[in-house]
């Protein structure tokens, strides 16, 4: 009986994948599910007692942390006003600022309709632009001896890491978005983290354009 159910289920799955209007959302759902599954496993194994969610947006990663590590000290850092409101509505502790290598005031621009596209690196003559505070990572009120730093900053990850200071001593892991290719951030990040004794442990997500990986979320541990 179970063999018949298996064959029936497999045939149904193949049919779903053959229908383009259904295949696309199914593909997206499966990628999100796999990414979340990886993140949960890594969070459990890492024994982190504190997490900084830099570029928290509306809290996708923060919600996973709260579910898997409910006792960990979790701090979200996010400059976008609408996202900050959404995070606080969910009960997260939030520092409303961009992460940078020094205290400053920066221009945050949103070049597309998605808040995830926000950047402090260029204004691009966007209609949606905010002046936001910028802070260093080592100025954050984060308590813990095994801190995980997650940064999704649209290319400003290296700038933010220049502000780590003595937080390096307590950092046990970094989950960083890296661009791949000519002038990408992956190689400079790898060189920097190797100097601090980190090794590349896992790739939790990849973005492909025309069959080529252009961005990836990488987890480094030590």
Tens digit of pLDDT for each residue in 146-201? Answer: 999 999 999 999 999 999 999 999 999 999 999 998 899 999 999 999 999 999 99
Q: Where are the alpha helices (DSSP H) in 19-106?
A: 20-46, 60-68, 81-89
Whether residue 23 has pLDDT greater than 70: no
Distance, in Å, from the CA atom of 23 to the CA atom of 14, rounded to the nearest integer, reads 10
Whether residue 217 has pLDDT greater than 50: yes
Q: Where are the domains of the chain?
A: 2-221
Which of 122, 121, 159, 154 shows the shortest CA–CA distance to 137?
Answer: 159
Domain 2-221, CATH among 3.40.630.30, 3.40.50.150, 3.30.70.360, 3.40.718.10: 3.40.50.150
Distance, in Å, from the CA atom of 32 to the CA atom of 184, rounded to the nearest integer, reads 24
Contact predicate 80/117, CB 8 Å: no
Task: State pLDDT tens for residues 88-137.
Answer: 999 999 999 999 999 999 999 999 999 998 999 986 678 799 999 999 99
Task: State pLDDT tens for residues 127-152.
Answer: 799 999 999 999 999 999 999 999 99
Pairing of strands 129-135, 94-95: unpaired
- Would you state the pLDDT for residue 14? 53
Quick one: DSSP state of residue 115?
A: G
pTM of the model: 0.86
Distance, in Å, from the CA atom of 172 to the CA atom of 184, rounded to the nearest integer, reads 24
């Amino acid at each position: 009986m179970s063999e018949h159910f298996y064959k029936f289920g497999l045939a149904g799955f193949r049919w779903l994948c053959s229908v383009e209007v259904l295949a696309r959302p199914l593909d997206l759902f499966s990628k999100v599910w796999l990414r979340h599954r990886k993140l949960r496993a890594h969070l459990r194994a890492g024994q982190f007692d504190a997490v900084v969610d830099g570029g928290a947006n509306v809290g996708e990663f923060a919600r996973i942390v709260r579910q898997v590590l409910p006792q960990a000290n979790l701090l979200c850092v996010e400059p976008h006003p609408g996202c900050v409101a959404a995070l606080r509505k969910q009960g997260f502790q939030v520092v409303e600022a961009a992460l940078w290598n020094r205290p400053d005031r920066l221009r945050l621009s949103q070049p597309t309709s998605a808040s995830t596209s926000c950047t402090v690196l260029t204004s691009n003559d966007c209609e949606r632009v905010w002046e936001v505070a910028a802070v260093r990572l080592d100025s954050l009120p984060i308590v813990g001896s095994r801190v995980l730093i997650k940064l999704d900053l649209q290319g400003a990850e290296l700038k933010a890491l220049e502000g780590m200071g003595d937080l390096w001593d307590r950092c046990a892991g970094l989950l960083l978005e890296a661009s791949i290719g000519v002038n990408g951030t992956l190689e400079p990040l790898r060189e920097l983290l190797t100097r601090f004794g980190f090794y590349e442990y896992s790739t939790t997500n990849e973005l492909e354009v025309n069959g080529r990986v252009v961005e990836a979320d990488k987890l480094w541990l030590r």
